[in-house]
Structure 1
Amino acid sequence: MNMAAKLKAWNFQVLMLVQAMLGAVTPNFRMVVLSREGDIWVIRFYLEKNIEDDICEIEDIICQYTAYQDSDLKCKSEILVGHEALPRLSEADRVVYRRKE
């Protein structure tokens, strides 16, 4: 895949994640990061507290995000809860949302 095609794929995935997140982010969300590990798209949700309503929102976000895709999309999500400092990210990661802290 050439560089332009890679950039187009990244931009499409970021846009689809942003669309899926509209109206779902609460003050408990600290950061949402999109990464790629091989051929798998990884979405990491950083929450301050383990709140069941937010876990349900994340499930809805993932459902909506995958609905925007064609059937061969490989993705997974991770939920990380805590007050620790947010991690430094590699240049390959895209921060899709980050609250002011």
Structure 2
Amino acid sequence: MNVEAELKAWNFQVLMLVQAMLGAITPNFRMVVLSREGDVWVIRFYLERCVEDDVDEIEDIICQYTAYQSSDLKCKSEVLVSNVRLPSLSGADRVVYRRKE
């Protein structure tokens, strides 16, 4: 894939994730990161505490995110719960949301 097409793909995925997250983020969300592993888009949600309502919101976000996509989209999500320092990310990852800490 050429650089321009790759950039368009990333920008589209970031936009769709931001749209899916509108109104769903609570103060418990620390960071949301979009990355790509081969042909799979990976969305990592970092929460401070395990709150059932936030886990339900994440399920809704993923449902909305995939609804914006074509049927051949491959994606997975991960929920990481911790109040330790947020990890450093590789240059290939995109921070879509990060609260001030």
Relative to the length of structure 1, the TM-score reads: 1.00
Q: Shift in Å at residue 61 of structure 1?
A: 0.0
Q: Distance in 1 between matches of 2:77 and 2:50?
A: 16
Q: Which residue of 1 aligns with 2:79?
A: 79
**Equivalent residue letter for 1:23:** G
Query: Taking every aligned residue pair, what percent have the same amino acid on both sides?
Result: 82
Q: Which residue of 1 aligns with 2:55?
A: 55
Q: Which residue of 2 aligns with 1:68?
A: 68
Q: Which residue of 2 aligns with 1:90?
A: 90
Q: Which residue of 1 aligns with 2:100?
A: 100
**Equivalent residue letter for 1:55:** V
Relative to the length of structure 2, the TM-score reads: 1.00
Q: Shift in Å at residue 56 of structure 1?
A: 0.1
Q: Which residue of 2 aligns with 1:31?
A: 31
Q: Distance in 1 between matches of 2:16 and 2:86?
A: 24
RMSD (CA atoms):
0.2
Q: Distance in 2 between matches of 1:41 and 1:84?
A: 25
Q: Distance in 2 between matches of 1:87 and 1:72?
A: 30
**Number of equivalenced pairs:** 101
Hey, which bits of structure 1, 4+ residues long, moved more than 2 A? none
Secondary structure of the corresponding residue to residue 23 of structure 1: coil
Q: Distance in 2 between matches of 1:21 and 1:38?
A: 24
Secondary structure of the corresponding residue to residue 30 of structure 1: strand
Q: Distance in 1 between matches of 2:81 and 2:2?
A: 37
Secondary structure of the corresponding residue to residue 95 of structure 1: strand
